[in-house]
A and B are shown apart, each in its own frame.
Chain A
Amino acid sequence: MKHIDEYRDPALVKGLLQGIEKRAAQAQAPVTIMEVCGSHTNAIGKYGIRGMLPESIRLVSGPGCPVCVTSVHDIDCALHLAGRSGVVFATFGDMLRVPGTGGRSLQQLRAEGADIRIVASPTDCLQIAAEAPDREIVFMGIGFETTSPAIAAVIKTAEKRGVANFSVLSAHKVIPPAIDVLISDPALALDGFLCPGHVSIVIGADAYRPIVDAGRSAVITGFEPVDILEGVYMILGQIIENKPDVAIQYTRGVKREGSPPARQLLNEVFNSADARWRGLGIIPGSGLCIREEYQSLDALHKFDIPEIQSEEPKGCRCGDILRGIIRPPECPLFRTACNPASPVGPCMVSSEGTCAAYYKYH
């Protein structure tokens, strides 16, 4: 298939692997690289890339799966809203099985009769709102800077059209503050980052400066096997030359300055806020809440949500997995109590989740 097969070409892969082997030998010490994004984790598993790399190169998975980092409390809020009478709760499919407090999920709520619908795009919600004027449509907005501009656009459209029965539960997050937390974590010894290609289309390369300031390498990388291997190759190059930098491997998608119009849209609709990440705790300035001007479309403002005492599942080590401190097989629940059919933690739920990728591909 054109524009895809080129990036999965076995000959190119072979050449890159030879280059990586050479550079890995030159680097002399073992190299640990974090792939920040869940799509990278998934592709690495799907193509068996981990097993193709020299032993001295270790890939660890980071916190870049939006489903996985959604806090138990955000899920509990979603469960509360979805369970209210008169509400149609719309969400991306992956959220359905994420367990909240006590293991309850949207999927269970749906089996009990709640009207919970999977949408492929947030714009579908406006259609649902028009078709069901006597119902309240609540959309659960999750995702990083890749997804949030589209949701911002829907919020703006709804405001312009005066849609009265639609609101968004914003659990959006932004990537750079999470990377800052990772860099400053002494438990985490990382040499470089494969930075997320799609998020970077919006935020650009400068957002990763703190990585370089901390003396680590950063390469904004695409999601095909050739992209990922080239990303690793480029990181090794920076390490050998001792010249950390934010480089762009994914040049067919990312411009150094990112997308100012998309960022402008985000600023118009959202304010920066502190947000709780599963496993990473509260990270200042890492969330997006809906601005006052769009308050009528903010589910947190529209509905009276009672105080919810949220509890993380016992024994679940998703937090350490999201920080790359342990690998899934090191969690005592992995494959036993926690599996894709009955996930305990969110990393087992999403196809981008580290545990789900390990379960599926190892």
Chain B
Amino acid sequence: MSTDTILLEHGDGGLLSNKLIAETFLPLLKNDLLERMEDCAVMEIGGQRLSFSTDSYVVQPCFFPGGDIGSLAVHGTVNDLSMGGATPLYLSAGFILEEGFPLDDLKKIVASMAEAAQKAGVRVVTGDTKVVARGAADGIFINTAGIGHITYPGDISVSSIRPGDAIILNGHIGDHGAAIMSKRENLGLETDILSDSAPLSGLVADILQASPAIHCMRDATRGGLGAILAEIAQQSGAGITIAENSIPVKDSVRGVCEILGLDPLFLANEGKMVAFCPGNDAQAVLQAMQNHEYGRDAAIIGTVGESDRGRLILDTAIGGQREIDLPAGELVPRIC
């Protein structure tokens, strides 16, 4: 299939997204910071290490169980900054509004942003608003960018991952994806699943305190835990093995997955992350996570080994093994 136009799948965080970045964005915008392909760019200015990141939010519906596009736009960028080991400080907010969007809804969304920003300890310090004609956008799109300050001495990056590292996840996966999926109008599913949208900056601060040797952190957003770990395996050349039985998934989320034929591993999260640290520090990091409100159900889900370099292997629940690859061509609604 030739793809000379943009398809929805170019935005799903899987194979086509990667292709778009590798073949279109990266060659034209090429520089050493961008080429690291991390969640945020880390730069040194005046002897200080700063972290910079941006993300756009187009979630449909814009109010969903457990959150809305406003809080999501704050959490997403705060989390991207946090994953680089930064303390998030300042955000920008750009709004693209469709003619006819209810002002009351906008007020609710901005109030929710304000609350989320306060909770995450960041300030929205600059912004922009554009209004487009009816039909040129779908209600409301938000872009946020953020700056954070890095004081952690270690290099938190996929390139720091080593054999012997433990992989620790901060709780149940798939809540956000399942909450959005079950609200799709034509499915008629009734569930009480709430999005896990949350700021992870506080949790990350505790993790960094617990271990002086955190090698890598990544939030498991679009594409889910499966996609980010497969991507990390590819980028770092590490051989990652995870155990299906050790990954916490709520029964309600599993139920939605069974009905819709989805795999929780590939469902989006907005408040979940993995940390890679030396095996010796695993218990301390796990404890730090479990002591935090956004890490109560944390678990050690896997390890980095000497073999299977560049691959992600899943020990299945029944005792089999399979490789997990980046998702390709999964049809998902707009989840973030």
Task: Point out residues on A near B: beta carbons under 8 Å.
Answer: 1, 4, 8-10, 13-14, 45-49, 51-52, 93, 96-97, 99, 103-105, 107-108, 111-112, 118-121, 124, 225, 339-344, 349, 351, 359-362
Contacts and interface: CB of A to CB of B under 8 A. Distances in A.
B323 A119 contact: no
Contacts of B331: 93, 96, 118
Contacts of A361: 322-323
Q: Which of A45, A342, A359 has the most CB of B within 10 A?
A: A342
B328 A10 contact: no
Nearest to A341: B15
B98 to A, nearest CB: 19
A342 B320 contact: no
Contacts of A349: 329
B258 A362 contact: no
B24 interface: no
B226 to A, nearest CB: 10
A8 B325 contact: no
Interface of B: 1-3, 5-9, 14-16, 19, 186-187, 251, 254-255, 258, 261, 263, 314, 316-323, 325, 328-329, 331
Contacts of A111: 5-8
A51 B318 contact: no
B325 A360 contact: yes
Contacts of A107: 1, 7-9
Contact of A108 (B1, B16, B322, B325): B1
A357 B186 CA distance: 27
Contact of A4 (B15, B258, B316, B325): B258
Contacts of A104: 1
Contacts of B5: 108, 111-112
A14 B1 contact: no
Contacts of A359: 325, 328
A52 B325 contact: no
B322 A339 contact: no
Nearest to A352: B261
A8 B319 CA distance: 10
A121 B261 CA distance: 14
A242 to B, nearest CB: 30
Contacts of A51: 320-322
